[in-house]
Amino acid sequence: MARNILVVEDDRNISDLIRMYMEKEGFEVRSVYDGGKAIEEFEKQAPDLVLLDIMLPVMDGWAVCRKIRETSKVPIIMLTAKGEVNDRITGLEMGADDYIVKPFEMKELMARINAVLRRSEIPDDTKKKLVFDKLIINLDSYELIVDGKKVDTPPKELELLYHLASTPNRVYTRNQLLDEVWGFDYFGDSRTVDVHIKRLREKVENVSDQWALKTVWGVGYKFEVK
């Protein structure tokens, strides 16, 4: 069954080019040209992935991403005309799975889409739940329970925490985490990892004295268990 992609891009030439290329690759594509229509179309039929421009009329991409994340963990790739680090970090902090800077090659876009879709697929028979003192990391339901309370956490943050906690006390470099959590064909930089660790610390720091999310200076990060 063909994957359904929602393309939210106000430049119709770019939108048409993306649609044409993706349909050739076997995807079903729905296109909208402003943020308000994006929410309407998303609620009408949830897509398998959202390709979301930042600069949009009616409602910008940040607002659309935030609205989608209130109810769904569907993969989101942000499109931006700016190469500034802050734009990328904002998208990742809001729960976007990846970003791509315009202008881009269609082959790169397809590589990112396929990588994000692969990472979002977790087999039904896979049980992924880790339990520590006052902490439950559940990848089956994509829930983070901290001191008995559910904490809203973007999918990539949860996957990063799970990856670190699944091998306690092992030190990972930033590049290892990019490879193993984001995928070998991820095109980002190591600051992506730092952003996600910072956000995770805000959620779990000082909850228990039995474990901690630690920085190993000059190397990377580890989930330390005492």
| Buried residues in 120-129 as b, exposed as e (16+ CB within 10 A) | eeeeeeeeee
And the tokens for 106? 């269609």
Domain locations along the chain: 4-120, 129-225
The DSSP element (H or E) to which 68 belongs, if any, is helix 61-69
Q: Whole-angstrom Cα distance, residue 89 to residue 109?
A: 19
**39, 65 contact by CB (below 8 A):** no
> Is residue 132 predicted with pLDDT exceeding 50?
yes
What class, spelled out in words, does domain 129-225 have in CATH? mainly alpha
Of 161 and 73, the structure prediction assigns the larger pLDDT to 161
Q: Using one digit for the tens of pLDDT, what is the confidence trace for 150-196?
A: 998 988 899 999 999 999 999 999 988 988 888 755 566 778 899 99
Global pTM? 0.61
Tell me what percent of the residues of the chain surpass a pLDDT of 90: 57
> Is residue 21 predicted with pLDDT exceeding 80?
yes
Averaged pLDDT for residues 36-65: 94
Averaged pLDDT for residues 23-42: 95
And the tokens for 82? 């700016």
And the tokens for 166? 């699944």
Domain 4-120 is of which CATH architecture? 3-Layer(aba) Sandwich (3.40)
**106, 20 contact by CB (below 8 A):** no
> Is residue 124 predicted with pLDDT exceeding 50?
no
Total residue count of the chain as it appears in this document: 226
| pLDDT value of residue 179 | 82
The 8-class DSSP code of residue 169 comes to: T
And the tokens for 35? 């943020």
Q: How many CA atoms lie within 13 A of 45 on its CB side?
A: 10
Averaged pLDDT for residues 113-135: 76
Averaged pLDDT for residues 54-60: 92
